[in-house]
Amino acid sequence: MKAIITIFGKDKVGIIASVATLLAKHNVNILDITQTVMREYFTMTMLVDLSGSKTEFIVLQDELSKKGQELKMDIRIQREDIFEKMYEI
């Protein structure tokens, strides 16, 4: 299963590093990253592959959300197919 991780919040050092470390711990493979910083606000979307991970989606979601609280960022993960269905005919 592929999923999209989105991160919003005030830019700071080490956001990608700490999220990527968490994902590596759960054997989640990062396929693509897009990021923008507008003024001091950071937005990142990440395409990840969960097929190698044994962690349940909901558990990973909770951990990411906890990580978001630590970093004072909003981090969420959603399945990729919803965007595909909504924006492709």
Partner 1 sequence: MIKTKHILETIKMVDELKFDIRTVTMGISLLDCADTDGEKARQKIYDKITKLTEDFVKTAEKTEREFGVPIINKRISVTPISIIAGSSNDTDYVKFAETLDKAADAAGVNFIGGFSALVQKGFTKGDEILIRSIPEALSVTNKVCSSINVASTKAGINMDAIKLMGQIIKDTAYLTRDKDSLGCAKLVVFANAVEDNPFMAGAFHGVGEAEKVLSVGVSGPGVVKYALEGVKGKDFTEVCETIKKTAFKITRAGEVVAKEICNRLNIPFGIMDLSLAPTPEIGDSVARILEEMGLESCGAHGTTAALALLNDAVKKGGIMASSNVGGLSGAFIPVSEDEGMIAAVNAGSLSLEKLEAMTCVCSVGLDMIAIPGDTPTSTISAIIADECAIGVINQKPTAVRIIPVYGKSVGDMAEFGGLLGRAPIMAVSKFSSEEFIARGGRIPAPVHSFKN
Binding site residues, partner 1, CB under 8 A: 4, 6, 31-32, 34, 36, 43, 45, 47, 57-58, 61, 76-87
- Residue placing its CB nearer to partner 1 in the complex, 14 or 36: 36
- Residue placing its CB nearer to partner 1 in the complex, 28 or 77: 77
Distance CA 70, CA 39 (A): 22
Residues facing residue 29 across a β-bridge: 49
Helix (H) or strand (E) holding 60: helix 57-71
CB of 21 to partner 1, least distance (A): 22
